[in-house]
Amino acid sequence: MVLNYIWIALVIIAVLAAFIRFCITGDAAVLNALVDSTFSSAKNGFEISLYLTGVLSLWLGIMRIGEKGGAVGALSKLVSPFFVRIFPGIPKGHKAFGSIVMNLSANMLGLDNAATPMGLRAMKEMQELNTDKETATNAQIMFLVLNTSGLTIIPISIIAYRTQCGAANPTDIFLPLLITTFFSTLAGLIATALVQRINLLHKAVLIYLGGLSAIVASLLFFIHGMEPAQVEYVSNVTSSLILLFIITSFILLALFKKVNVYEAFIDGAKEGFSTAIQIIPFLIAILVAVGLFRASGALDLFIDGIRYVVSLFASDTRFVDALPTAFMKPLSGSGARGFMIECMNTYGADSFVGRLSCLFQGAADTTFYILAVYFGSVGIKNTRHAVGCGLFADLIGIITAIIICSLFFS
């Protein structure tokens, strides 16, 4: 529903803006540019979707190997003691814990198709403990905020889009994105814990949060003071090594579990193919709307207005050009994806704006969409502090993305 209104608004504003410009200038080129953008955007959307067929098939095949080899299950066991502490409203040993851990683990590994069913199951199981069926419980809100904060270890789709848009090294945003999503998730967790009065100073919680924070702090300390070229080199090498390690460990673990690796890969690759085909109409629709919005001049006016305000307080306003992706992400993943691709096509995939738009895209998830789907699936109407905590995590993600992108790619 939200995407429907966004799409209509983009198209109507674009047409009105172009018509007003035509009435003022009398230049028919304004209208011609609007029409031409519909065809070029549709072509671009199809070409991107077609290319994604190969990339998604490859990565979802690898992910399926990891899934059948027990990588998700191993990650679930690893983080289980932590989740027990941040969901005090769920009795120890309750079946909901298994679904929660599996959902968040699948999200971190980029298994979106597997994450959603497990997330809906987790919400249903938590709803069984809910005494007020129309009001969200603390556990349900914590679960939703952790989902919307978007912690992802392997950003498969973003890497795929960067490849299609001509990035020299599509994985160079891997490490910056991991750091960015860590801070957005940490912000969402702390905000929700404060509202719900959850003790984050418990030994188990401190060990997990302290360990992750130490790793991120070490990375930032290590690159502090380096020249931009050195930082980019370290990011590229580290990202490649981590991805290669994950792929290799998935395969070795699957072999140890006596999984037919080839069949598992084919099974996942088939899902990647069908997923790429399914997104063609949605991607074309949003890219056409964004293309119209830009061709009409409405996007430039919007960006120039924000840039003027920002220039009053800061000298570096490069990040402003990527802000449409950040503004759109809480409302629509498809809409944000369209702006991200538009940024990379306009400024270059390896430009500061192109990379920052990718960080914005991966810094958080579609907050309002997730809240609508997950809460709607169990009939919850009163979401309490879920929206506020989710949007706070989004805001921290945006701020962190700007800082991290400046640090890595300045």
pLDDT tens for the chain, 410 residues: list them: 445 676 788 889 888 988 888 888 888 888 888 888 888 888 877 877 776 677 667 777 887 887 788 876 676 677 778 888 899 888 877 878 877 877 776 677 655 555 666 677 788 889 999 999 989 999 999 999 998 887 776 677 788 788 888 888 887 888 888 889 889 999 999 999 999 999 888 888 888 888 888 887 887 777 766 776 676 677 667 767 777 887 888 899 999 988 999 998 998 888 777 766 766 787 688 778 878 877 888 877 888 888 888 888 877 888 999 998 988 888 667 778 888 998 999 999 999 999 999 999 888 777 776 777 788 888 888 889 988 899 899 999 999 999 999 988 87
Which residue, among 318, 333, 346, has the nearest Cα to 402 in the 3D structure? Answer: 318
The H-assigned helical ranges of 70-173 are: 71-86, 95-108, 112-127, 138-148, 156-164
Give the pLDDT confidence score for residue 351 in this predicted structure: 94
Give the pLDDT confidence score for residue 340 in this predicted structure: 92
Give the pLDDT confidence score for residue 119 in this predicted structure: 79
Give the pLDDT confidence score for residue 252 in this predicted structure: 92
Which residue, among 96, 99, 102, has the nearest Cα to 71 in the 3D structure? Answer: 102
Note the pTM of the prediction, 2 decimals.
0.73
For residue 382, give the 3-state DSSP assignment: strand
Give the pLDDT confidence score for residue 71 in this predicted structure: 76
**Which residues, listed in sequence order, are joined to residue 256 by a DSSP beta bridge?**
none
Give the pLDDT confidence score for residue 112 in this predicted structure: 56
Specify burial of residue 395 (Cβ count, 10 A radius: 0-12, 13-18, 19+): middle
* Contact status, residue 406 vs residue 355, Cβ threshold 8 Å: no
The Cα 344–Cα 406 span in angstroms is: 17
Specify burial of residue 203 (Cβ count, 10 A radius: 0-12, 13-18, 19+): exposed
Written as six digits, the tokens of 335 are 């809409």
Written as six digits, the tokens of 143 are 């679960």
* Contact status, residue 367 vs residue 150, Cβ threshold 8 Å: no
Give the pLDDT confidence score for residue 115 in this predicted structure: 66
> Which residues 6+ apart lie within 8 Å of 12 measured at CB?
none
